[in-house]
Structure 1
Amino acid sequence: MKGLLETREVHSPSLESNPLGDPARRRLTVYLPPGHGEGDRRYPAVYFLHAFGSSGGSWTNASGFAPTVPERLDALIESGAVPPVVGVFPDGWTSLGGSQWINSDAIGRYRDYLAKDVVGFVDRHFRTLPKAASRAVLGHSSGGYGALVMGRYHPEIFSHLGAHSADAYFEYCYLPDLPKAAGSLLKSGGIETWQSEFRQRVRETKMRGDDFPVVNTLAMAAAYSPKKGEPLNLELPFDAQTGRLKVDVWNRWLVHDPVRFVPKFLDAYRKLKTLFIDCGTRDEFNIRWGTRMLAEDLKSSGVELVHEEFEDGHSGVSYRFARSLSVLLPRLSLE
């Protein structure tokens, strides 16, 4: 790479005393373009939000063949396709597997962690342009969901947004996992027993194929339907014995569905200078349809949008960041 990767540690007041006891001090990987620190020049910044089940360190995991996302960013800058930028790779991992980049009574204040603590740290320690017009936020899957959350709550911080295969239309992307999770939890005898067995299993061997629906369901319940005093401080959207959907709890999930909240916060999305969304036509979580719904609502409301589809599935599509970066970064303010 022509640029440099630096690793720092960020102490987050927003994550102090979080319900899961996860660290408030987090590793932060930062990409610095060639010339950063020389002279008085300042640079726009792009924030990358990782998916559920990943951490901030996953961005630099080399596959052996394909370039990493920081390497893709570096190549785009070297070619002149995009202007030099600072790339920021925060860590939103939790002991449940992820945070959805939102504030939750069962997980912690991860939206505040990003919007306040990480952005503030980067602007203090690197030569960035500290204004919304010079900041972009983008991510894949739960990271793409997090980018949509930032657009809803923080258009004063991020003016440019990219969401790849972002969790949307929960009936399609989450509902199919609920009966699978219900079966595993019933067999184990409940959340706490299953969680104990799972942690021992992954320490000694690895996750099983039937673990993911439970892991995903518990983490999403912690994000969307927290309830203090329950196991893991969350309320499941189904009855533990019959599997019957609890409509009141499920409706609490739906409040967090981008297909529901984006149309209610169009004024915030209209403030964005660039909005890019995409999804694979073979997405295994059916997110293609939620993305299409979002695109329809946004376009009909006058929001400037780039919406694309591509022939692939949900995973292994980091090459799509080259496309979103090519759309977003040339529109960042350079002064």
Structure 2
Amino acid sequence: MHGSLLELEIDSQALAGNPLGDPARRPLLCWVPPGGAAGLPAVYFLHGFAGSARGWLNVSAFQPTVPERLDALVAAGEVPPFVAVFPDGFTALGGTQWINAPAVGRYQDYVAEDVVRLVDARLGTVPRREARAVVGKSSGGYGALCMGRDRPDVFAHLGCHAGDAYFEYCYLHDLPQAAAALLGAPDAAAWLDDAKQRARETRLAGADHPVLNVLAMAAHYAADPAAPLGLALPFELPSGRIREDVWSRWLEADPVRFVPRALEAYRRLASVFLDCGTRDEFHLRWGARMVAEALRAGGVPVVHEEFEGGHMGTSWRYDASVRHLVPRLARGA
């Protein structure tokens, strides 16, 4: 590697006292090119559900890690130097959507305020919105879309890889599987405790993942302080019937719905990159198409690409977003 990887620690004011009791002190990985970070723009990478800051360093056979990919792009002169920032968003529910959620915590503020402030102060990156991009995949892509809507004062560039969108396609099929699993548990909190115990003793089963996904998404989209885990389930038990009042709250949080209502914010962005695989197992290509269509109709500069592939094993696609966004980042004071 030509550049260097730094592991910092951040004590987040935004995460202090969060409802899940998750730590406010987090690791923060940064990749810095040769010559240092001072005076450079920065790209903030938001990992997907069940990811972590250190997860960006996981090695797959014959494949470079994402920091190694970025290092190679800069070393080859394919993009100008920049700083890559990898915050940690793991939670007691398995992950975050990188938003401010009453049942989970203020993860959007954590990134847009605490992490950005620390990086600018410690590394000397350019302290301007035009010099910052936020990029993510899956739940991280969803978080990036929300960041573009809510914090264009902090980020002027956005990249979304297979972000959660069009919830009828990407979430609805998980609901009956989650209902079946929860039918045999005293409540959602008891099921989650049991799943964590199984993971400690052996591993999570494939059938556990839809349940974890539904619980985590419910916590982000439909908080209920009076219910176990502080979330409203989107279905009734024992019948399994969808609770329309709760499901409608999920849909309000769907980018396909909120992007057309937030075009004024998205028009403040200097560049937007979207992509998704044509065989994405969560059917996210359709949501990406709808979001791209809405942005174009609203006069937002957007590049939308599709590629042959699924949802997993697509880290090579960060090359595409970085090639598009990094040359457009502002430089200098």
TM-score by length of 2: 0.98
| Equivalent residue, structure 2, for 1:47 | 44
Alpha-carbon offset, residue 52 of structure 1: 0.4
CA distances 1:17-38 after superposition (whole Å, capped 9, x unpaired): 111000000000011110006x
Q: Of residues 254, 264, 268 in structure 1, which corresponds to 2:251?
A: 254
Residue among 152, 159, 167 paired with 1:155: 152
Per-residue CA deviations over 1:71-117 (Å, capped at 9, x if unaligned) read: 11111111111111111000011010111001111101101101110
Task: Name 1:317's counterpart in structure 2.
Answer: 314
Q: Which amino acid aligns with 1:213?
A: P
User: Aligned with 2:69: secondary structure?
Assistant: helix
Match of 1:8 in 2: 8
SS of alignment partner, residue 7 of structure 2: strand
Distance apart, 1:64 and its partner CA: 3.0
What is the correspondence of 1:140-151 to structure 2 with a 5 Å cutoff? 140-151=137-148
Mapping for residues 219-230 of structure 1, pairs under 5 Å = 219-230=216-227
SS, match of residue 14 in structure 2: helix
Unaligned runs of 5+ in 1: none
In 1, Cα distance between equivalents of 2:44 and 2:231: 29
Q: Secondary structure at the match of 1:14?
A: coil
Hey, what's the Cα distance between the residues in 1 that align with 2:326 and 2:102?
35
- Secondary structure of the residue aligned to 2:184 is helix
Task: Provide the residue aligned with 1:97 in structure 2.
Answer: 94
Q: Deviations over 1:139-158 (max 9, x none)?
A: 10000111001100011110
The match for 1:171 among 168, 176, 191 is 168
Instruction: Note the residue ranges of structure 2 that are not aligned, 5 or more in a row.
Output: none
Tell me, in whole angstroms, the C-alpha distance in 1 between the residues paired with 2:196 and 2:95. 16
* AA matched with 1:32: V
Q: Distance in 2 between matches of 1:257 and 1:192?
A: 25
Report the Cα distance in structure 1 between the residues aligned to 2:185 and 2:234, rounded to whole angstroms: 18
Partner of 2:24: 24
Deviations 1:106-147 (A, max 9, x none): 101101101110000101100200001100110100001110
- Asked whether the equivalents of residues 134 and 334 of structure 1 are also in contact (C-alpha less than 8 Å), the reply is yes
Structure 2 letter corresponding to 1:30: C
What's the CA shift for 1:297?
A: 1.0
CA RMSD, 1 decimal = 0.8
Which of 167, 179, 188 lines up with 1:191 in the alignment?
Answer: 188
Distance across 1 between alignment mates of 2:78 and 2:196: 45
The equivalent position to 1:85 in structure 2, one of 82, 86, 89, is 82
The alignment status of 1:280 with 2:273, answered yes or no, reads no
How far residue 226 of structure 1 moved from its aligned partner, in angstroms, is 0.7
C-alpha distance in 2 between matches for 1:196 and 1:32: 39
Q: Following the alignment from structure 2 to structure 1, what is the Cα–Cα distance between the partners of residues 202 and 275?
A: 35
The aligned amino acid for 1:173 is C
Query: In structure 2, what residue type is equivalent to 1:233?
Result: G
**Cα distance in 2 between the residues matched to 1:196 and 1:19:** 16
Normalising by structure 1, report the TM-score: 0.98
Letter in 2 for 1:302: G
Deviating 4+ runs (over 4 angstroms): none
- Aligned equivalent of 1:205, options 189, 202, 205: 202
1:36–1:127 Cα contact (<8 Å) kept: no
The alpha-carbon deviation at position 69 of structure 1 amounts to 0.7
Find the counterpart in structure 2 of residue 35 from structure 1: 35
1:20–1:106 CA contact under 8 A, matched in 2: yes
SS in 1 for 2:315: coil
1:117 corresponds to which of 107, 114, 117: 114
Aligned-pair distance for 1:5? 0.2
Q: What corresponds to 1:108 in structure 2? A: 105
- Once the 2 structures are TM-superposed, how far is the Cα of residue 260 of structure 1 from its aligned partner? 0.5
Once the 2 structures are TM-superposed, how far is the Cα of residue 217 of structure 1 from its aligned partner?
A: 0.3
User: Retained in 1: the 8 A contact 2:187–2:228?
Assistant: no
Q: Report percent identity of matched pairs.
A: 57
